[in-house]
Each structure stands twice: as structure tokens, then as C-alpha cells.
Amino acid sequence: MTDLLREEPRVVSAGVDLFANALAAQAVPVTTVDWRPPVAGTEDHLARVLADPRRPDANALALSRMLAAGADLVDVRPAREVLGLESGQFLHAGPPITWERASGPLRGALIGAALFEGLAATPSSAEALLAAGDGVEWAPCHDSGGVGPMAGVVSPSMWLFELRDEATGRTAWCSLNEGLGTVLRYGAYGPDVVDRLRWMASVLGPLLQAAVRRRERIDVKGIIAQMVQMGDEGHNRNRAGTLMLLRDLLPALVDGGAPSSDVAAVAEFVGGNDHFFLNLVMPAGKLQTSAAADLPGCTVVTTMARNGTDFGIQVSGTGGRWFTAPASTPEGLYLGAFGPDDANPDIGDSAITETIGLGGFAMAAAPAIVRFVGGSVPDALATSRLMYEITIGENPAYAIPILEFRGAPTGIDVTLVTRTGVLPQINTGIAGRVAGTGQVGAGLVQPPMECFTSALSALAAAAPPLAPRPAPEVPGSPIRSAGASHVSRRDG
């Protein structure tokens, strides 16, 4: 707190420019807010939520927990072991969804997973099985403490990275990345796709498991901190992170006694897939946001995730409740002959990277890929800077060199999004609309504002009402002095 009457005033002005100018004319330092009205219809909810006495401390606690969260890779195991997933059970990206409303790529990935698990012999019989819901069920990865990129489909025989936050003992998981192009997570389910999944389950998973166990732990948070300084933003560019992971794993891989051809294949697969490390950034993000979850009164976003049909968010103060709205279609660049008509709406749990201040939020750190997602370097700098306007803090662990090592913008605040109208910026891959297509491009996308206004409304409903304070019961008579009365005069 400043001493109002003794310090030279330094003023923040919001509203009428005339008054800011009048202050400036008095040689007072004035910072003028680029103010605009909040999203229409939110003013009462905003007042209620901002009046919530729990909010400042809850948000501060959320931020400190997010910044303190660590992320170590501690094991690699099949989903059956990690999650107790049984045959016919699947997990997927984004908020909950039925088969009827599921998008092409999510259906394609479920079909591929059913084939991989041997639940059906052909794609059409797999589709029939899934559509009938006969002995099959699926639920969001997020609700099981993990994340999956794009369609995010996980079945019992797929192997998962397991990460642990040493500070809290909390764990999170993510699938192993298959590479780019025609892959399950983009909705492809051809024989190549299923064969690759089999190799990942029989060779890649076990070798990674042995290597990680020999290493005991790999500091994923530390690698992310370094990759951000090496031009990766952790969502659409993970090249440096992937190579640093490989550097850490290679000695243990080589020393693990597996056939050299398998070791070579694993090294080639990991090193040849620039996105391999995405599947470690994501669960590190899940650990970070889980640390901030379930704090009453807290307005920090803990999840942004899409299932290809709906975009869903979760907010700390409202626990596990999803706030959903139809997902937008990304804008960006397309591979080969694909074009915007081939694009599916936004899909995947990978927006967890933006939720922790990476990806689109850290675009300034990754000038090498701004053109790939259809932007320019000044755009990237402006985007990252704008994201500080909707976040409550900065993460010094993830420092952005070109912004003078400013920490990544961390802790998206629902009230800041609705007050400013500024939506989180997400970098993303673009899946083909039709099941079985695979990746068609990459670009930029934003969540629908409705997710945030719905969350705000729920936060308002959970906040104490704003009621006039009951009048204090002070006995005695009113001031009856006749106007200007001289109440007291003392020397001094």
C-alpha cells in the first residue's frame, strides 16, 4: 500500500480520456488503460465474482501451486496397468461426447483403437460396434488425470508416460506420440496405423520403460524450461525438447540390453518425430494445472480441451464441471492438396500447453514456426504479450528470451477473459474432417467465448451474494449542529 497523501501520485486511468489528459497536463505520470466494455451481459456476474472475498487468496494460491509444480517422467506402462482400463473401455480428448455427436477424427481414432485391441476385424464392423455401444464405453482423458493429443484416444494396450510432481506426489499421464501425418490421433485407422501401434506397444513402450526405470527420473520441467529458450513453444514445435529427451534416454536405452536393431529403431522413431516430446509437455501441464484445481472462489482455468465437436474448459473454483460450446475450426496452412473444407473443428487435449502459458501463449519464443501456423514474427510477439492481459502471473521457469526473459503468461483468469474480450490463443494441428484422413494442416484457433461466460456465470452463482451491509446499530442522536459547526479546536 502506498501513502496516498505523501507520495507523488502515479495514476492508472480507465475510462474517459479527457480526465487522463487532464492529469497528464498536470505533469502526473498516467498509464491509460485500453479499456472496453466487458463481453455483453457479463457485468453482473463479473461484479459478483470480483466481489467474492475468497478470490484474491484463492487465485494467489493457484498461481503459487502452478509455479511450484514439478514434472518428472518416472515410468512408462500400458494403460491397462496405469489406469485399470479394461477391454472395451477407451479414453478420449476433450469434454464428454456421444458417438452420435462425435467428429470424424474422433470416430476414426476409436475405430482404429478397436481394431488395435482386436474388438473388430474390419473398420466397418468396428464402427458398427462403437455406434451400437455394444460392450464399449469412453470417457475424457482429463477426468482420469491425463491428457491425449488430437483425438486423444487411449485403449488398454496402449502405453503411457507417467509423470510425477515430487512436491505433491500427484501423477499425470499421456500416450506415446505416433509421429505426424496418417496417425490414429488424427483419425486415421489404416493397417499402417494399427501396425505402428503394435510396434509401439511391443518395442517402443518396453524399451522406454526400461530406460526410464534405469534413469529413475527425467526432469521434464527442466527440459521444457530449456526448450522454450531454444525456439520451441511446446505445442506445435517440440524439436529441441525431443532431442534433449533423446539425449537423456540414449545411454540407458543402449545400455539396457535390448537388441541393437530395436534400440536403433526406437532412437530413429523418437529422433525422427519432432512432436515426440509434446506428449511429455502435455502431462507436465496437467500436473501444473491439477495443482491449482478445486480451490473455492478461484477463477483460474485449469483445463482447455476439445473433442472435435465441443470445446470445453474447467475452472478451479467450479471443480470438475465442464463448460462447453461448439469448437471453432482453426485457420492456418494446409498440407498438400488439403484445404479449409477438409478441416475438422478444433480437437485435442493439447491446449493444456496454452493453459500453462506455452503453445500460443509462448509464440514469441518460437519465431521459427510462426509462418507454419500462418503468422509473422511481430504477430507472435504481439500474441504472447496480449496473453499477459488475461493471465494472473508469470512463470519464471519458462522464460521467453525475446521478451527479455519474461516468464510465460500463466493462470488464465475467467474474469480477465470476459472483462477484456481477449480469448486465449491456441496453436494447433488440424485434423481431417472425414474419419480415416489424418492430419491436413496446422494453424491458430481460439476457444468460443461462451465457455468463459458460462464458467463466469457458475462462479457467480457460487459466490456469496452482494448485499448491503446491515446498518450498524449505533445508539445516540444524529449530528444536530446547524450546518457549519465548529466541532473541536486544539492547538497543534
Partner 1 sequence: MIRHVEVRAGTYHDSVTLMQVSQAVQGEEGVGGALVAMATQLNLDLLGGMGFDVPTASPNDLVIGVTADDDAALGRALARVESALAARSSEDSGAGGFGAAAAPRTVGSAARRDGATVAFVSTPGPYAFSDAMDALQHGLHVVVFSDNVPVEQEVRLKQEAHERGLLVMGPDCGTAVVGGVGFGFANVVRPGPVGIVAASGTGAQQLLGLLDGAGVGISHCLGVGGRDLSAAVGGASTLAALDLLADDDATEVVVVVSKPPAPEVADSVRERAEKLGKPVVLALLGPGRPDLTAVAQTVVTTAGAEWRAPRSWPSTAPVAGPYPHVRGLFAGGTLCDEAMLLVSAALGPVLSNIPLEPSWALEPGLPSKGHTMIDFGDDEMTRGRPHPMIDNSLRIERLLAEARDPSCGVVLLDVVLGHGAHPDPAAELAQAIVRARNVAGARGRDLAVVVALIGSADDPQGLEEQARALRDAGASVHLSNAAAARAAIALVNGGGGD
Closest to partner 1 by CB, 337 or 479: 479
Closest to partner 1 by CB, 111 or 364: 364
Whole-number minimum distance, CB 481 to partner 1, in Å?
A: 6
Closest to partner 1 by CB, 149 or 317: 317
Nearest to 347, CA basis, from 491, 424, 467, 447: 447
Whole-number minimum distance, CB 345 to partner 1, in Å?
A: 28
Give 324: exposed, middle or buried? Use CB within 10 Å, 0-12, 13-18, 19+: buried
Closest to partner 1 by CB, 259 or 401: 401
Whole-number minimum distance, CB 417 to partner 1, in Å?
A: 10
**How far is Cα 395 from Cα 406, in angstroms, rounded to an integer?**
8
Tell me which residue has cell 510396434. 199
**How far is Cα 384 from Cα 399, in angstroms, rounded to an integer?**
12
Closest to partner 1 by CB, 341 or 490: 490
Q: For residue 383, what are the β-bridge partners?
A: none
What DSSP character marks residue 329?
A: P
Q: How far is residue 183 from each of residues 108, 151, 155, 190, 334, measured CA to CA in Å?
A: 10, 10, 15, 9, 16
Closest to partner 1 by CB, 307 or 383: 383
Q: Would strands 170-175 and 146-147 be described as parallel, antiparallel, or unpaired?
A: parallel
Q: Please count the residues of the chain.
A: 492
Closest to partner 1 by CB, 16 or 121: 16
Q: How far is CA 119 from the centre of its chain?
A: 32
- CB atoms under 10 Å from CB of 98, counted, come to 9
Whole-number minimum distance, CB 288 to partner 1, in Å?
A: 12
Whole-number minimum distance, CB 161 to partner 1, in Å?
A: 20
Whole-number minimum distance, CB 37 to partner 1, in Å?
A: 6
Whole-number minimum distance, CB 15 to partner 1, in Å?
A: 3
Strand residues in 150-291 grouped as ranges (E): 159-165, 170-175, 218-219
